[in-house]
Amino acid sequence: MKWKSTLFAATAFLMLAGGVSASARGELPEDRRLRILSFNIRNTMGMDGQRDLARTASVIRRQRPDVVAVQEVDSVTGRSDGRYVLGDLAAEVLMYPTYAAAIDFDGGKYGIGILSREKPLRHYKVALPGREERRALLIVEFRDYLMACTHLSLTPADQLASLPIIRAEAAKAQKPFFIAGDWNANPDSETLSGIQQDFQILSDTKGGSSPADEPDECIDYIAVYKPTADRIARLSASTDRDATASDHRAKAVTVKFKTPASRILYAAPYLQDLQPSSVDVMFQTRVVSHCWVEYGTDTLHLKRARTLLDGQEVCYDIENRIRLDSLEPGQRYYYRVCAQEIVNYQSYSKTFGETARTPFYSFRMPSASDKDFTAVIFNDLHENREVMAAFGKLLRGMKYDFAMFNGDCLTEPANREQAMHNIAEACRMVDAANHLTFFIRGNHEIRNAYSAGMHSLIGYQEGKTYGAFSWGDTRFVMLDCGEDKPDDHWVYYGLNDFTGLRREQVDFLRQELKSKAFKKADRRILINHIPIWTNSDKYAPCTELWAPLLKKASFDLNVCAHVHSYGFWTAGAEDNPCPVVRGGGPSMKKATMIVLEKRGDELTMRAVDTAGRTIERQIL
């Protein structure tokens, strides 16, 4: 039969589309909307007396529903030329059909159905009373909800007798339970009054649905079972304007599922952009949320911080950056992140969902008088999860003050989801919720489509990918080397200007080397990804631009990376004015963790492999 081949093609398409849909569910922010349509199609017969399945399908397509409750539909009857009408309709609108016969009719069946974009998990039918003809309740279960469809009897007594049966089925639901259909009852009827004891009407009850050409009655509805209604929010309700395709107008509702508190936060927060009296707490949510941080010197007396932009709280996206200011040097602080989902944000109406709260984390602000610290530095991890797991295990047994990623650790982000995932993995490895963490770009961080988008996910010092900070009496200077090929290399398609970025850093270095913070520091550490010295590359713009300035500065150590081969050079070994350590990576055999330890006046550098063995130790 024709409908079988058409439906097979539609089902094949939906199987492919289902794969796309599953992938889309991983996109952020999550937007778990559901559009429900209820449509008495009169078996595709319009007000003009003509059967036109394509016309019926056009109404459904225009509304773009996720699920449709369909009433008055034939299955292989004589009047429908033996066609499975719901199947043909499903093929037209590219949805899955689920049919429930109410009565035998004209050599086939006559009843109700549900069309859905998502493949049903299961379905079943329950008989309902109807003295003029038997009625049915069709229930279809999906991943996040149940959808029921019914066409109630014309007789009010039978309608009322149906309510306990419907109520009993809804009471079994562990998910939001929706019901829709032609209920043959007006809003002020006893039937609707009875239904509303247990169900919340979501559809528009003021707009008529029958007859379609001049609707003066509302007898078509969409509702949700009240005990499950707190898990969704209604966003909109409308009535289709088509006056010809059927003798009923279709009713539509859009709802949004509220996100459980356990799913609101994407990952643990991470501490960024250290300043003398402030720290930024960065985190992402899976849904747009009202966010704040509670913090203090203990967990009982807390202040609240949030991000305001010209008097307005920033809550339009999933990326969050909240500054904790007026922090005292040398003081330990405790904090937790709170995020309440904003399910529906309108000019004069807002619907909030659940609130997520993290455990308390803590960090200590460095003091200018501090002489002791431990820092861990990683490079060229290239997302090697085995290496990251090994170093993460080592860190769990260490006490350290802060962590640094010296390039090619968050490599080539194609989109925001990948960038967020890579940052979350790196931050989890170093426990960045409890330790200040610094990200220095390598050449692989500045490749691929979302590389520029990393700026909003990383708290670079004062918004620059280069900068400096003091930890106690030690000054750290971080430089961004850019790419390892000239800007006019064909692989960049004319999109880069790292020459300009490097020249900009010449001005930064001049200012930094003259600064009071640099001059009064007891120790000075230079960190950059591509080696300025010990670099065998013919293209070495950083060496040409920066080396003359850096030779005049008194750095105690330069930490670099990029070459994937560990090495240590004493001052003057390769025209380097200070000792240079170059990290290895990214394999289990080559990866290194550089540990800088300062105790009093003594500064020690240790290079540690993935097994925790010290492969080099230098007192600087």
Domain boundary assignment for the chain = 2-257, 266-365, 366-619
Query: For the chain, what is the total number of helices (H) and then of strands (E)?
Result: 12, 34
Domain 2-257 has CATH 3.60.10.10: yes
Counting other chains too, the contacts that 316-320 makes at CB distance below 8 Å and 24 or more residues apart are: 316/288, 316/345, 317/29, 317/288, 318/28, 318/29, 318/266, 318/284, 318/285, 318/286, 318/287, 318/288, 318/289, 319/282, 319/284, 319/456, 319/457, 320/282, 320/283, 320/284, 320/285, 320/289, 320/291
The residue among 379, 315, 322 whose CA lies nearest residue 341 is 315
For 543-589, the pLDDT digits (tens) are: 999 999 999 899 999 999 999 999 999 999 988 999 999 999 899 99
pLDDT of residue 23: 34
d(CA 204, CA 236): 9
- What value does the mean pLDDT take over residues 94-109? 93
Fold of 366-619: Purple Acid Phosphatase; chain A, domain 2 (3.60.21)
d(CA 411, CA 431): 20
For 435-444, the pLDDT digits (tens) are: 999 999 999 9
Other beta carbons within 10 Å of 443? 19
pLDDT band of residue 55 (cuts 50, 70, 90) is: very high
Q: Alpha-carbon dihedral of residues 398, 400, 404, 405, nearest 10 degrees?
A: 10
Is the pLDDT reported for residue 508 higher than 70? yes
d(CA 456, CA 103): 60
pTM value is: 0.86
For 246-299, the pLDDT digits (tens) are: 999 999 999 999 999 999 999 999 999 999 999 999 999 999 999 999 999 999
More confident residue, 81 or 535: 81
pLDDT of residue 397: 86
pLDDT of residue 207: 86
- What value does the mean pLDDT take over residues 54-78? 95
* Identity of the amino acid at 112: I
Other beta carbons within 10 Å of 58? 15
Q: Which residue blocks in 32-155 are alpha helix, DSSP H?
A: 53-63, 85-93
Q: Which uninterrupted H or E stretch holds 69?
A: strand 67-75
For 311-367, the pLDDT digits (tens) are: 999 999 999 999 999 999 999 999 999 999 999 998 899 999 999 999 999 999 999
Q: C-alpha angle with apex 386: 381 to 388, nearest 5 degrees?
A: 45
Is the pLDDT reported for residue 104 higher than 90? no
pLDDT band of residue 434 (cuts 50, 70, 90) is: very high
Q: Which CATH number fits domain 266-365: 2.60.120.260, 2.60.40.10, 2.170.130.10, 3.20.20.70?
A: 2.60.40.10
Is the pLDDT reported for residue 10 higher than 80? no
* Identity of the amino acid at 336: R
Backbone angles phi, psi at 426, to 5 degrees: -65, -45
d(CA 184, CA 220): 7
Of 293-297, 399-403, 540-544, the least confident: 540-544
Percent of the chain with pLDDT over 90: 88
